[in-house]
Amino acid sequence: MGSSSGYVDIEVSAATLNGAKEQLQNIYGAQQIINLREISNRGGGSSSSDSGAMVGLALIAGGIYLVITYWPIALGLALLYVLYKIFV
């Protein structure tokens, strides 16, 4: 944030980067905001990226389970599809 004496470092707490920018503008009267960045809090609980990775792993594991369990049905349907494309 610019001031008559130069730039000032200010730290705010907000849920989003836009919320932090609004705080800087409304509370501190900032006219120029540069180098706005998120500092993550890794002090415990899971973040959204961690839970997203867990969902992705669960989907991959579920897909592998379905392929292993139902491969005869999938193979039969694939064979029927190939025969359909060949003769029709």
Shared-domain flag, residues 88 and 48: yes
Question: What is the residue range of 47's domain?
Answer: 43-88
Cα(60)–Cα(22) distance, integer angstroms:
40
Question: What's the alpha-carbon Rg for the chain, to the nearest Å?
Answer: 27
pLDDT at residue 1 greater than cutoff 70: no
On whether both 57 and 30 belong to a single domain, the answer is no
Regarding whether 34 and 49 lie in a shared domain, the answer is no
Alpha-carbon span 51 to 11, nearest angstrom: 27
Cβ(24)–Cβ(30) below 8 Å: yes
Domains of the chain: total: 2
| Pair 49, 64 in one domain | yes
Residue 81, pLDDT above cutoff 90:
yes
Shared domain check, 4 and 27:
yes
Per the model's pLDDT, the better-predicted residue between 1 and 18 turns out to be 18
- pTM (2 decimals)? 0.38
Tell me: do 33 and 56 sit in the same domain.
no
pLDDT in tens, 20-76: 888 888 887 877 877 787 777 655 555 556 778 888 899 999 999 998 999 999 899
User: Does pLDDT of 19 surpass 70?
Assistant: yes
Query: Which of 2, 22, 4, 3 lies closest to 12 in space, CA to CA?
Result: 22
